[in-house]
Structure 1
Amino acid sequence: MTPTPSGRWTPDATGGDLVILRTFRAPIEDVWASVTESERTARWFGPWKGDGRPGGTIEYQMVQEEGAPWSEAVIEACEAPHRLALTSEMAHLELLLSPVAGGTELRLVHRLSGPEGVADYGPGWEFYLDALVASRDGSPMPRFEDYDPSMRPYFTALTTPQG
């Protein structure tokens, strides 16, 4: 499999947003469950446990990462079925869901303090969102090796000024 990167980088005065989209042929409530219910996140990202309400702290496991580490995050917002925002020591993330013709669009927004991390995080989020797609449609799980390092030039180019 040769996945195609789709992310984009939107810089601003305080850093910028790495944004990656996926569209699902499913109702928004079903996609919301795939990104918020621990037994469903375990299928593509990893399980979580803890206080899953705004202001609460959760522990989540990234099962695709070396050693399948557990980390903590604070839930900043949980507005079913449209917005989940959380902050961990490594990231501020938002998952934004919107109904579109025939399904639901998922927009992952990773807030960064500058362009330095775009090439590091971009391939990983492309991988995880494709794993979400595979978990929902029953297709084979992607292999991280198909994403990194091959997608790094694409994401590096997003942050390189065009002249």
Structure 2
Amino acid sequence: MSPTPTGRWTPTPTGGELIVSRTFRAPIEDVWASVTESDRTARWFGPWKGDGRPGGTIQYQMVQEEGAPWSEAVIEACEPPRRLALTNPMAYLELRLSTVDAGTQLELVHHMPGPDGIGDFGPGWEFYLDALVASRDGTPMPDFNDYYPSMRDYFTALAPAQG
């Protein structure tokens, strides 16, 4: 079964936001734990260590990537259980959680200076959020080859070309 892309592009005064979301039938505190506790992030993204307070630096391992590299990020905001924002050398990212009728909605927001690269980033974020779903549901992890390059055109078409 091929995954279906869900991402959207929202223009902003400084570029735009690539937003990918999932809804979980779980309390917001439990979903928050899945995206902030190292033993739980290790199940779908990778573990992290370091100073998880606003202004602190963490090191995180991307276990789904070739070579499982370690990278660094600065925690810009941590507002349990609703918002986590961080910057790394490649991106400014936010996780926004909200309570909805069915449980909890999680939005992964990738702030971008423009749409360049959206066709590469979008499939990756879809993959990682589906990996989060699989880790929570106890189902097999998705295969990145089902996301890229097949979703690239969908994401590229979301935003107008810069002129």
TM range (shorter): over 0.9
Structure 2 gap segments, 5+ residues each: none
Q: What is the one-letter code of the residue matched to 2:143?
A: R
Q: What residue in structure 2 maps to residue 131 of structure 1?
A: 131
Q: Does 1:75 align with 2:75?
A: yes
- On the 8 A contact 2:23/2:102 being kept in 1, the answer is no
Which structure 1 residue ranges, 4+ long, deviate > 4 Å from structure 2? none
TM-score, length basis structure 1: 0.97
Q: What is the one-letter code of the residue matched to 1:18?
A: L
Alignment of 1:7-156 (within 5 A): 7-156=7-156
Q: What SS does the aligned partner of 1:52 have?
A: coil
Query: Quick one: percent identity of the two aligned structures?
Result: 78
Q: What residue in structure 1 maps to residue 159 of structure 2?
A: 159
1-structure distance, mates of 2:27, 2:12: 33
How large is the RMSD of aligned CA atoms in angstroms? Answer: 0.8
CA offset at residue 102 of structure 1? Answer: 2.6
CA offset at residue 84 of structure 1? Answer: 0.3
- On the 8 A contact 2:94/2:110 being kept in 1, the answer is yes
Q: What is the one-letter code of the residue matched to 1:35?
A: V
Residue by residue over 1:49-103, the C-alpha shift from the partner in whole angstroms, topping out at 9 and shown as x without a partner, is 0000111000001111111110000000110000000000011000000000030
Q: What SS does the aligned partner of 1:115 have?
A: coil
CA offset at residue 160 of structure 1? Answer: 3.3
How many residues were matched structurally? 161
